[in-house]
């Protein structure tokens, strides 16, 4: 799957992943009105609104970006109907040729970790048959419990040729409370980065590993260090745009081949219609606004990478 992701990035010239993190405030009124008319102001109504909103976004984006990243929590809050919308969104994105990164941040040990890996990347055995649950192409994983929590995911990655992105240095302001703590004189995130590189050797594609890392755009100098520590790991870079990361901050995350990183934008794309810059599209044109924002982001990153070259 890492080769598919790289090929899609090269084809679209867009190392971009759109975070499908729907909030009810982002969804235009006409979509909510139709959903609530059909299902009432219920969990089912909210899930239908999310699904229709996502479908419009995907239809507008699938040919100009390589991947999407649905955040499971945004769906889980609406219970079983929300998770049905999550799965429906994943299926539709894959039908459109998009790579799907499930932002699920799972992390546990033993049989629990095995179950998480199967649920999101593998197949579950039921009698004589196997089924895929949420069937994402990649999943985000929390490494805090150590190798016991990662190895079940590595096993599924090898079996299914799928991938994971391990949290290394996250974009949130308080990440340093733990991630920057010195261990034998070195920050913890560097030690985690070394483990990512080690784990990645067990799941190599042609040029990059199936084991990637999450490193926030808000910490470019740390990104520079981690890029050297993890030369074969693809880096998922959150924090661009709404969280303060700028185009110039992205350079350290890429390798000399212009690859090695994919940059996430969530509300900056999916709620672009609410920004003054894209206000001309209005609520009805929310999907067109998202497309315009994604194209602007592509141009921003392209200019920065070309200046690096």
Catalytic residues: 105
DSSP string for residues in 88-128 = HHHHHHHHTT-EEEEEEEE---HHHHHHHHHHHTS-EEETT
Exposure pattern of 263-273 as b/e (b: 16+ CB <10 Å)?
A: bbbbbbbbbbb
């Amino acid at each position: 799957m890492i080769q598919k992701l790289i090929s899609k990035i090269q084809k679209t010239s867009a190392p971009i992943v759109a975070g499908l993190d729907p909030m009810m405030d982002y969804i235009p009124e006409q979509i909510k009105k139709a959903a609530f008319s059909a299902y009432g102001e219920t969990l089912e109504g909210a899930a239908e609104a999310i699904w229709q909103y996502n479908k419009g976004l995907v239809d507008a984006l699938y040919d100009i970006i390589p991947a999407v990243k649905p955040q499971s929590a945004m769906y889980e809050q609406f219970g079983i109907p929300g998770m049905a919308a999550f799965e429906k969104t994943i299926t539709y994105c894959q039908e459109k040729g998009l790579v799907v990164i499930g932002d699920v941040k799972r992390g546990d040990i033993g049989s629990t970790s095995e179950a998480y890996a199967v649920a999101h990347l593998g197949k579950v055995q039921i009698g004589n048959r196997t089924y895929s649950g949420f069937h994402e192409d990649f999943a985000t994983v929390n490494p805090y419990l150590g190798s016991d929590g990662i190895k079940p995911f590595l096993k599924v990655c090898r079996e299914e040729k799928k991938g994971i992105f391990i949290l290394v240095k996250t974009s949130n302001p308080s990440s340093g409370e733990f991630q920057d703590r010195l261990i034998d004189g070195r920050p913890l995130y560097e030690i985690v980065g070394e483990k990512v590189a080690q784990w990645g050797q067990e799941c190599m594609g042609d040029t990059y590993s199936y084991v990637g890392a999450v490193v926030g755009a808000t910490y470019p100098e740390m990104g520079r260090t981690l890029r050297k520590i993890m030369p074969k790991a693809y880096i998922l870079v959150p924090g661009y745009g709404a969280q303060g990361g700028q185009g110039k901050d992205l350079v350290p995350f890429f390798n000399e081949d212009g690859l090695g990183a994919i940059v996430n934008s969530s509300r900056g794309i999916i709620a672009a219609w609410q920004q003054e810059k894209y206000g001309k599209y209005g609520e009805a044109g929310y999907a067109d606004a998202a497309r315009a924002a994604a194209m602007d982001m592509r141009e921003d990153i392209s200019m920065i990478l070309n200046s690096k070259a």
